[in-house]
Amino acid sequence: MAQARTEFAAALNQIASEKGVDTEVVLDAIRQAALAAYKKDLTLRNEPIPENFEEFTSKVDPSSGEISVFDGDKNVTPPGFARIAASIAKQVIMQKLNEAERGAILSEYESKVGTVISGNIQRQEGNTFFVDLGRAEGVLPPSEQVHTEIYHTNLRLKFLVKEIREGGRGSEVVVSRSDPALVKALFALEVPEIQSGAVEVKVIAREAGSRTKIAAISTQDGVDPVGSLVGQKGVRVQAVMSELGEEKIDIITYSEDPARFIAAALSPAKDIQVQLDEKSKVATVTVPQNQLSLAIGKGGQNVRLAAKLTGWKIDIVGAEEPEEQGISDESKKTEEKSLEKEAVVIDKKEKAKEEIREEVKEAEEKAVTKEEKEKAEEAGEVLEKAVDEESPQEEKQQLEEAIGETTELPAEETSAEEETDEATDPSKTPGEAVVEAAEENITQAMQDESKGGELQEEPKVDDPKAAADAQADMEESKG
């Protein structure tokens, strides 16, 4: 009898140890199984089940394993019940023990929610993967997967224990690879300052598989939150990125000042100006043109993550460069002045040519012969052409005086005749000088013709110097 007691107690302790439950849990499972067996025995013997059967109890001797059934204080255990209970209650006992074991496991993993655990991909059912976590099986649903990762059997990864929830098979451990809290938990493993409380990760915005932004704050003076997470030579952040498949991570300092926080969240963009609309919680951010693409990010990712991180809607506009604006305005003013001066010069030339035409017309009216008229027309054409081809140096000088520029064109060679003509009367415009010369030349030509002298044919010219030479020849013909 003593040996039986010893064997039962040893078996009881072994089962409790294997299942990871208390011995009382095993004994309770045996008691429930005994009642189920008693009820089954009554049915087999065609005896009615008492109306108060729910009040029946059973007792198990933890030393001997002897089982008894009671109706209140009355022992109603039938003869040979131990054998019947053993054959009928085995399945019930195992079921109860499995439930107890599962409950103990789930209770253990409830305390691990929010932490990181390693596991192997065990199998796949549809788009759902099941992970071997050791004592439990984790479920990785599609919503917790990273679209850039490829999962296969026996692949070992770190997972976030996200929650314990009721599924089709009862309670199950849900694990995640895409939750932002996974990044936070991975940093907690790598950064002692987080474990000690010197650094706190305030908020995380993540697009799993691509990029994550983290805002951290220091709770102790002299501790740099960003430097703590990055680590010496980036060793800490590199360890986290390696576990996440080289997902890019931006780490910034958290600030209670929304404008400063938003500016930091848009890193790596710099020189940012932020205007806040507290009522609508909209931030208008102005960035230099050369920082615009950095602020927005590829596909708008940078500004999108910054908005998630800060909780503000962010509108980004490009700033107009002050230097470029100044150059543009000055160029516009210069161009306007140049056009105005050009219009004035053209107007003066037209007036000069009109005066030449009038002088030619008067000369033609005074001419007696056809040859005199032709000579007058030719002289007028030469002088009009001279007006059109007015010296570029003179035009440039007049333009400089109008717009206040100091740039000078290279000096051009001028003939002695041109220098003499220009020095004659500097107060006259080129057009006025040409008209005056036209009047003198046409009058002189008609006088020479009337004296019987021949009017020397005036050469055609293609440039201002040639015009001056032609005018000099006409001067010589007077003598």
pLDDT band at 129 (very low <50, low <70, confident <90, very high): very high
Query: What's the pLDDT score for residue 266?
Result: 95
Q: What value does the mean pLDDT take over residues 387-414?
A: 46
Indicate if the pLDDT at residue 113 is higher than 70: yes
In tens, the pLDDT along 284-342 reads 999 999 999 999 999 999 999 999 999 999 999 988 766 555 555 666 666 666 666 66
More confidently predicted of 422 and 242: 242
pLDDT band at 163 (very low <50, low <70, confident <90, very high): very high
Q: What value does the mean pLDDT take over residues 238-245?
A: 94
Indicate if the pLDDT at residue 352 is higher than 90: no
Query: What's the pLDDT score for residue 415?
Result: 42
Q: Which helix (H) or strand (E) holds 370?
A: helix 370-388
Number of H helices, E strands in the chain: 16, 14
212-221, 346-355, 469-478: segment of lowest average pLDDT: 469-478
In tens, the pLDDT along 57-83 reads 988 877 777 788 898 888 888 887 777
User: The domain 112-176: what is its CATH number?
Assistant: 2.40.50.140
What is the C-alpha to C-alpha distance for residues 295 and 268, in angstroms, rounded to an integer? 7
Q: What value does the mean pLDDT take over residues 391-411?
A: 44
For 116, other C-beta atoms within 10 Å of its C-beta total: 18
Answer yes or no: are the C-beta atoms of 21 and 14 closer than 8 Å.
Answer: no
Query: What's the pLDDT score for residue 267?
Result: 92
Query: What's the pLDDT score for residue 407?
Result: 39
How does DSSP assign 48-102, residue by residue?
PPPTTGGG-EEEE-TTT--EEEEETTEE-PPTTHHHHHHHHHHHHHHHHHHHHHH
Q: What value does the mean pLDDT take over residues 471-478?
A: 51
What is the C-alpha to C-alpha distance for residues 172 and 150, in angstroms, rounded to an integer? 23
Query: What's the pLDDT score for residue 454?
Result: 44
In tens, the pLDDT along 428-466 reads 554 555 556 655 655 565 555 455 444 444 444 455 555
Q: What value does the mean pLDDT take over residues 96-121?
A: 85
Question: Are 2-109 and 112-176 the same fold in CATH?
Answer: no
Q: Does domain 2-109 have CATH number 3.30.1480.10?
A: yes
Query: What's the pLDDT score for residue 421?
Result: 46
Q: What is the pTM of this model?
A: 0.55
More confidently predicted of 457 and 103: 103
In tens, the pLDDT along 164-183 reads 987 766 778 999 999 999 99
* Residue 286: φ, ψ to 5°: -105, 125
Q: What value does the mean pLDDT take over residues 352-381?
A: 71
For the ranges 196-200, 359-363, 385-389, the maximum mean pLDDT occurs at 196-200
Boundaries of every domain in the chain: 2-109, 112-176, 348-406+418-478
Output the CA–CA distances (angstroms, integers) from residue 181 to 108, 113, 212, in the order listed: 20, 11, 11
Query: Taking all residues of the chain, what is their mean pLDDT, rounded to a whole number?
Result: 77
pLDDT band at 99 (very low <50, low <70, confident <90, very high): confident
Indicate if the pLDDT at residue 413 is higher than 90: no
Query: Interior CA angle at 76 toward 71 and 79, to 5°?
Result: 165
Q: What value does the mean pLDDT take over residues 192-200?
A: 95
